[in-house]
Structure 1
Amino acid sequence: MKKSLFAVAALSAIAGSAQAQSSVTVYGLLDLGYVGYNTRAATGSTQNPQAVNKTTGNAFSSSAESTSRLGFKGTEDLGGGTSAFFTVELGLTPNNNQAVNTGGTQNRQTFVGLKKNGIGQFALGTQYTVVHNAVAATDPGQANNISGNLIYPATTEGAGSAENSTGAAYTVRTNNQLSLNSDTFAGFKANAMLVANNKNSNETITVTGTPAAGTYAAAGGLNNQNGWGLGLDYTFKNFYATANYQAMTSKQSAQTYTYTSPYVTGITAGAPAQGYAGGSSANGTNVQDNQWYVAATYDFGILKAYAQYITRKVSAQQDNSYYYKRSAEQIGVRSFITPTIEAWVSGGLGRYNGYGANTANLTAWQIGSNYWLSKRTNLYAIYGQVGTSNASYPTSVAGGAQNTNLNPASANISNYAVGVRHTF
């Protein structure tokens, strides 16, 4: 009887110890406020060179400073300095009929991994890229969703432009990712990622009846989305620097075929789409996507200074001279003016070019402020502008020479927001 009581007590102690060593946290963020925008876009049309499209709007909206979210994360102590961890994080649209976001950012992060104290950790799942983690640590606006940032170009409300989308500068997150993060040694910390999503099947083309000349879609075939990235961080007292590189590879067999009687004779070549390099977060077709990011910060005590540089080149797999390239540099400062009032300002310049000799110059600036009511709740006001100017395209003139379009396309966006943000 005594042995039975002792066994029950021992099991209860073990269960209680295991429960104490494990933890699950529910967390989230709600950001709502008043958002306005103004856009002006010159078409650059030779038929109507004076055409300017203007759009103005405002709304009670959400996620201007930070994307609203709901998350669950937990850790379990496995003993010997080893622990398991997980995160599930969903995007929220609190001003919509469906609060849980149904767009591409609904699954913001979902991963599971293991950590060993003194060595580092690994995780598998949908995760941020090495470049985005570095941007989040070195952006003066803390990667908010208002226009005026060339490193993390975003806009809240309004259509914006191709150059003002979070997919324009770099890949923010990927599915099918293995991440590796070391502990810090002598101020250095290494980060890496590997992305693998390979799908191969027999490719078939179905033509019924007597086909006419044209293009026909193919089913099946190669559809591989891979990538890798490396990052290195260095911290020394008030100084922090980071350098990161990531390469995304998209390989597909031909998606469409050209039919010339009586055979299918040609394959449509994949190529970087302007929207992909300039805004879309979707993968390109048959492209090599290389992205660099370097940045540094220094905390002077009264303010923190930031310097950032990013470049991205998306090239066709079939011909690397068929490409789009975007680069930008940005500086900024962030400071607590009083114990409860925080402010930041940033400005940047950039350039966009690619095949066909089309170019564009980018400019942006942003100013913002937080008034902290508590550690978890703040009021904010943000204003920013971004411009895409001198987008020139060569046009034929007499004698076969090339000349720049005298009415280049351009765009300007201003975006502002006031709101309240609460974390829990």
Structure 2
Amino acid sequence: MKKTLISIAVLGAMSSAAFAQSNVTIYGIVDAGIVAERGGKSGSVNKVTSGVANASRLGFKGTEDLGGGLQALFVLEGGIKADTGESDVSGSIANRQSFVGLRSKEAGTLTLGRQYTPFYNALSQVGDPFAAGLAGTAKNLFPVAGANTRNSNAAVYVTPTYNGVSAEFFYGFGEKSANSTQRQVGASLNYSNGPLNARLAYNNRNNDDQPVLGGPVAEKDTGRNTLLAVNYDFQVAKAFFMYSDNKGLNSAALANVNNPYGTTVAPVASTKSADALIGVTVPVGGAGKFIASYINKNDKTNLNQDANQWALGYTYDLSKRTTTYVAYAKIKNKNGAGYTVGNNSEAGTGDKAFNIGVRHSF
């Protein structure tokens, strides 16, 4: 009996030591809200949905000290639907992020796997006062649908920060025999110092198609996006500005491709456009925050399918981990444009939407 207890104690100590050394963390977000959408061909849509402010997720991340200032790191993160308990992508367990890499204080960080693009990081972390969530998300009009948000088979390098300046480089392998086919390249130059945060990001997406590996390649135009994102904290309020220039095929893919307003001629994704945002967040009483933004999309093609969106929101922190929220946004489409008011996880069905819900992180 004593030997058994001693063995269990030794194994437990070894397990604890290994766990501490690898520094593995289980984390996640559970976000659910009531969403009311209006103005689309589906009529009035009322539902309980997941991921309104931030996509619900379950993740594992960890680091291991390799000595000499070098660390190994990994992230495995899958999306879930808090309203049903299902995976948000059928058959996938780590569809949001899945990467492994090395980090050095002197040399920077290199990671390999499924990862966010520098373009999306600039939008969600710096330029959008709604942080890419709620009804006011900039994703409703700014071009981050599909591969512009994240991509598989990617190598990402982030430099160390020098006097507030850093850079990020992204290369997504198309994994076709024609090396440039489906390739995606991105980069950002970042500056953060005191109240000022700014990023200049670029994204280049190759749209060539090779249906059969080793077969002929159908050459298509590339999609090119340049984004400037800035925010400045005045303490009494934080101001936001963002501008995106988009050119080429899939440079501004539609978030909702199902002709949401039932027009005779379905909306067409622009191949030449510009987006501009101004916004603000204002702290209220310590735990609360008021959010507002205005976005204008300028379609520079002959269709001239412009749109604009205004949005209001309010969040209240019940604790460090639990936040309640409410938001409303409205889009005005012009000349047959088909943009919809969605949220962090959904594209939306109409030109206006209201959200109320709660988010808990762990």
State TM-score, norm by structure 1.
0.68
- CA–CA separation in structure 2 for the residues paired with 1:341 and 1:250: 44
CA distance, structure 1, for counterparts of residue 143 and residue 228 of structure 2? 20
Question: Which residue of 181, 186, 206 maps to 1:249?
Answer: 206
Corresponding residue number in structure 2 for 1:261: none
Give yes or no for contact 2:78–2:87 (8 Å, CA) kept in 1: no
Partner of 2:6: none
The 8 Å contact of residues 181 and 210 in structure 2, kept in 1 or not, is answered as no
Residue 168 of structure 2 corresponds to which residue in structure 1? 191
| SS at structure 1 position matched to 2:124 | helix
Looking at structure 1, the residues matched to 58 and 315 of structure 2 have their Cα atoms a distance apart, in angstroms, of 22
Sequence identity of aligned pairs in percent? Answer: 29
Equivalent position SS for 1:339: coil
Deviation readout 1:228-270 (Å, 9 max, x if unpaired): 1121011232111110111011222589xxxxxxxxxxx9x96
Conservation of the 8 A alpha-carbon contact between 1:225 and 1:249:
yes
Aligned length, in residue pairs: 318
By percentage of residues, which structure has more strand?
A: 1
* Residue 31 of structure 2 corresponds to residue 74 of structure 1: no
**What is the distance in 2 between the residues matched to 1:14 and 1:419?**
43
1:141 paired with 2:130, answer yes
Instruction: Mark the runs of 5 or more structure 2 residues left unpaired by the alignment.
Output: 1-11, 251-268, 338-348
Secondary structure at the counterpart of residue 358 of structure 1:
coil
Q: Which residue matches 2:284?
A: 337
| Partner residue, 2:261 | none
In the aligned structure 2, how far is the partner of 1:339 from the partner of 1:381? 17
Compute the displacement of 1:79 (Å). Answer: 0.7
2:352 aligned with 1:418:
no
Q: What is the TM-score with the length of structure 2 in the denominator? A: 0.79
SS at match of 2:82: coil
Letter in 1 for 2:326: A
State the match for 1:359 in structure 2: 304
The residue that corresponds to 1:167 in the other structure is 145
Name the CA distance, whole Å, in 2 between partners of 1:36 and 1:66. Answer: 17
Q: Distance in 1 between matches of 2:313 and 2:246?
A: 27
Q: How far off its partner does 1:66 sit? A: 1.0
Query: Would the aligned equivalents of 2:305 and 2:336 in 1 still touch at CA under 8 Å?
Result: yes
Counterpart amino acid of 2:169?
A
- The 1:69/1:254 distance shift into structure 2, 3 A limit, reads closer
For the structure 1 residues 103 and 382, does the alpha-carbon distance in structure 2 shift closer, same or farther, using more than 3 Å as the test? farther
Match of 2:220, as an amino acid? Answer: N
SS, match of residue 27 in structure 1: strand
Mapping for residues 56-95 of structure 1, pairs under 5 Å: 56-95=44-83
Aligned partners of 1:38 and 1:56 also within 8 Å: yes
Task: Name the SS of the counterpart of 1:251 in structure 2.
Answer: coil
SS in 1 for 2:35: strand
CA distance in 2, matches of 1:333, 1:103: 39
Question: In the TM superposition, what is the alpha-carbon distance from 1:350 to its structure 2 partner?
Answer: 1.2
Could you tell me which residue of structure 2 aligns to residue 381 of structure 1? Answer: 326
Structure 1 pair 323–222 and aligned structure 2 pair: CA distance change class (3 A): farther
Structure 1 residues 63 and 165: alpha-carbon distance in aligned structure 2, compared to 1, 3 A threshold: farther
| C-alpha distance after superposition, 1:12-63 (max 9, x if no partner) | 99998665332111111011121100024xxxxxxxxxxxx56211012221
Amino acid paired to 2:151: T
Alignment of 1:310 with 2:241, yes or no, is no
Runs of 4+, deviation exceeding 4 Å: 12-19, 103-106, 163-166
Match of 1:180 among 118, 137, 157: 157
Q: Which residue of 2 aligns with 1:404?
A: none
RMSD of Structure 2 on Structure 1 (CA): 3.1
- The structural deviation recorded for 1:104 is 8.5
Aligned counterparts of 2:44 and 2:309: Cα–Cα separation in 1 = 19
Report the alpha carbon displacement of residue 222 of structure 1 after superposing the two structures with TM: 9.1
- CA-CA distance at 1:109 after TM superposition: 0.5
One-letter amino acid matched to 1:167: A
Unaligned runs of 5+ residues in structure 1 are: 1-11, 41-52, 154-162, 201-220, 256-266, 271-284, 317-321, 393-410
Question: Which structure 2 residues correspond to residues 86-165 of structure 1 after superposition, within 5 A?
Answer: 86-96=74-84, 98-99=86-87, 101-102=89-90, 107-138=95-126, 139-146=128-135, 148-149=136-137, 151-153=138-140
- Partner SS for 1:342: strand
Instruction: Give the match's secondary structure for 1:244.
Output: strand
